[in-house]
Amino acid sequence: MNAISHDDFPQPETVLAIRGAIALGRQGGPRPPDGSWLAEFLEVGHLARNASDAMHEAIEPFQRLVGDATAHLQDHVSALERAAGAIDRLYPARFEDEPLPADNHG
């Protein structure tokens, strides 16, 4: 088995750039220049925002459909709320003064 060196992991600046692009996409921020390697990560943030918005928008009509008398369907409403909240927390905006260490193990 080949040993893995620390050079195989992304540098902290790369991790922060990716997280920043995802956060900008979630916030509808400016697109990177054409051909930028960060464009796909901005799109990930944009898709996460769209998914979260769609779930949030689905909750109220689903609650009206379910009504209070149908407790087992209310579980589906709760699941939608949890999923939308999870997406909202998944890619928060990150504006730290110091870079975070790369997410590596070892």
Summarised one tens digit per residue, pLDDT across range 13-72 is: 888 888 889 888 888 888 888 899 999 999 998 988 888 888 878 877 877 777 665 666
Which of the pair, 4 or 40, is modelled with greater confidence?
40
| Residue 85, in any domain of the structure | yes
Q: Which residues of 53-89 are buried (b: 16+ CB within 10 A; e: fewer)?
A: eebeeeeeeebeebeeeeeeeeebbeebeeebeebbe
Residue 70: domain span: 12-30+37-90
The count of domains in the chain is 1
Residue 13 CA to residue 36 CA, distance in Å, equals 16
